[in-house]
Chain A
Amino acid sequence: MIKVDEKGFYGKFGGAYIPEMLHPNIEELKDNYESIMASKEFQDEFRGLLKDYVGRPTPLYFASRLSEKYGAKIYLKREDLCHTGAHKVNNTIGQIILAKKLGKKRIIAETGAGQHGVATATVCALMGMDCTVYMGEVDIARQHPNVERMKILGAKVVPATSGSKTLKDATNEAMRAWINDPVDTHYIIGSVVGPHPYPEMVARFQSVISEEMKWQLKEKEGRENPDIVIACVGGGSNAAGAFYHYYNTPEVRLVAAEAAGLGISSGKSAATTVLGTPGVLHGSKTILMQTEDGQVVEPHSISAGLDYPGIGPVHAHLFDIGRGEFVAVEDEDAMKSGIELSRLEGIIPAIETAHAIYALNLIEYSKDDVIVINLSGRGDKDLDTYIKWGNY
């Protein structure tokens, strides 16, 4: 049974390894998130906004030309059609309603590529809440349009200048900011990482993805369960959402596509389950890329959203018990798949998502298999990277 236990562990992974200064904040969340989320009032507001503001349910689209090319029945779960362009907003909508119910006045968040930052700035504008987003200095330079989007939405963007100045460091800065200002502030973590209850809470907000997949597949295929679900994994929130209602249905294969960067042994990779070992990062025990001495290693991926040295504890658990099939996709192959999907289906995917598409080349399946690929985001934000790559 894949389920978080009362101490926040999925098997060996998870927990809440946080400084005492954050204990009251984490306890408050842990003690309240389930009851708040279960309340009718919360559900009405959450479901209402997902429908009218985010544009859910997102379509489950039968990709006929892609299916023909690969020899399977391939569906795309169109999270790219969510408001703000990716699945991230499912979580930020949920967390901001929760923050409001907890009486919080200010929101902080971390962001890598800027997608979670934009999704957070968006819901803060929607709710009239003060918003500060921490972003690595390096990412600020390479994701400039998203920085401006956040500013247009009224958020303050603070550069993380420590360490490698990317997502890992932005997360450190956001945690420090929370320690500095714990009262009245809620930290909206963008993935299924961080101390318990974040991984489970974020997964539940994202679980709307597989919840819809079930009834949509029932309508289209006469059955709720596909044979295979494929999603990309950085921290792993879109994968957690797409897998959530299938965790305990062993006949559904769960395929997680990690970023191999320039290649597994190139020293420039983000394939955490291949290169990582168990350790503690950002408040939970998980698998992470580190040196022998336990210093966290800077990952590399062409996609900023997968450029993270760890994975969510639930994914570490899926890997550990063999429930998930993990594949590693190199930058070049992901880019080719991005172009391929553009040409076959008229959908330019986010480069993160393109990793999941390429996984079709790495796993076995048969002609009658129903495969759902979680199309986690659209490629608009990645145009620069596509243009620089140029091979189209």
Chain B
Amino acid sequence: MSGERCLHRSSDTRHPSSIYMNRIHKLFESKKNRVLSIYFTAGFPALEDTLPIMEAIQAGGADIIEIGVPYSDPIADGPTIQDSNMIALENGISLKKLFNQLAGFREKITLPVVLMGYLNPIMQYGMEAFCKKCQEVGVDGLILPDLPMQQYLDDYKLLFEEYGLVNTFLISPQTSEKRILEIDQHSNGFIYMVSSHGVTGAKTGITEEQITYFKRVQAMKLKNSRLIGFGISDSETFSKASEYSNGAIIGSAFIKTVKNSKNLSEDIQAYIQTVIK
């Protein structure tokens, strides 16, 4: 599939202006380093915590909000995020409810917002209805870990572009140079660098081996920004990751903070402050 053709078709559709300049692009234009993205699971710890958590993440000084759409079988996630998914589902969250919660969030939230979710719940919602709804409420991008690049190109690229959604791919230490270049070519926001072999929350700290991998990718001079995720939990790991990329993503460590919190707003802001200080 040619990029040109996509561009052409996109510019013919209803929402041309939103496509290549949404909040994600603006962010990376103005901020090249120490970009902090925070992941949390929608509907966790309590069903109605979604919006308060988003507000606290923004107030705390993070740069991107990544909302996890709960799924019964999250195969790329470790125990912490699995548990939060289970609890959120027990709380009664669904994609429909999430979109209801998100209605009007743009009155308060100016940060770029990305939805992270597995394919099946989205397919059941209807991929086009989902994209349309994302645009309607003000979501900027998607991370779908079980949607491989080829399937994206074959089935969804045009749709995502039509609704102004930036798709983010993952790469890992196993990803070949050739594949990284392909992913870079088909990305138009940022690339999610999985820091090591592993599911989320499996390892913490950054080893020499990982730094070699970060440097290797850094030297490739990709056109897209890179955020490092998996194993980032505190100021030290965040700073270390930022040395070799544009910033980092925190998930499991944030979920732990939220899980044990008695005062969400205060604790979230305090946590983010300690990370970015």
A interface residues, Cβ below 8 angstroms from B? 7, 15-21, 23-25, 162-163, 168-169, 172, 175-176, 179-183, 277-283, 290, 292-296
Contacts and interface: CB of A to CB of B under 8 A. Distances in A.
A18 B86 contact: no
A157 B43 CA distance: 34
B150 interface: yes
Contacts of A278: 123
Given A16-B151, A169-B73, A279-B123, 5 more contacts: A7-B154, A162-B86, A182-B174, A182-B197, A296-B120
B174 A175 contact: no
A279 to B, nearest CB: 5
Interface in B63-99: 71-79, 82, 86, 89, 94-96
B126 to A, nearest CB: 10
Contact of B73 (A181, A183, A296): A296
Contacts of A25: 174
A21 B120 contact: no
Contact of B151 (A15, A163, A168, A180): A15
A20 B125 contact: no
A281 B169 CA distance: 20
17 contacts: A16-B148, A17-B147, A18-B146, A19-B145, A19-B146, A19-B170, A21-B172, A21-B194, A176-B75, A176-B78, A176-B199, A179-B76, A180-B202, A280-B120, A293-B121, A293-B124, A294-B95
B100 to A, nearest CB: 13
A21 B76 contact: yes
A294 B170 contact: no
B72 A296 contact: yes
A280 B76 contact: no
Nearest to B119: A280
A283 B148 CA distance: 10
Interface of B: 71-79, 82, 86, 89, 94-96, 118-125, 145-151, 154, 169-172, 174-176, 179, 183, 194, 197-199, 202
A300 to B, nearest CB: 16
A16 B71 CA distance: 19
A295 B174 contact: no
A7 B194 CA distance: 26
A7 B154 CA distance: 11
Nearest to B123: A279
A53 B89 CA distance: 47
Shortest Cβ-Cβ A-B pairs, 8 listed: A294-B124, A294-B121, A293-B94, A20-B170, A295-B72, A21-B172, A19-B76, A294-B120
- Central interface residue in B73, B94, B118, B123, by most chain A CB within 10 Å: B73
Contacts of B79: 162
Nearest to B77: A176
A302 to B, nearest CB: 23
- Central interface residue in B94, B148, B150, by most chain A CB within 10 Å: B148
Contact of A172 (B73, B95, B96, B169): B73
B43 to A, nearest CB: 12
A293 B75 contact: no
A17 B76 contact: no
A163 B118 CA distance: 16
A283 B72 contact: no
A179 B198 contact: yes
A290 B71 CA distance: 11
B174 A7 contact: no
B151 A295 contact: no
Contacts of A20: 145, 148-149, 169-172, 175, 183, 194
Contacts of B71: 294-295
A179 B197 contact: yes
Contacts of A18: 146, 148
B75 A19 contact: yes
Given A7-B150, A293-B121, A294-B120, A21 B197 contact: yes
Given A172-B75, A180-B197, A296-B72, A279 B174 contact: no
A319 B183 CA distance: 36
Contacts of B118: 280
Contact of B96 (A280, A293, A295): A293
A277 B119 CA distance: 14
Contact of A17 (B82, B89, B124, B148): B148
A24 B199 contact: no
A163 B72 CA distance: 7
Nearest to A25: B174
Contacts of B170: 19-21
A279 B120 contact: yes
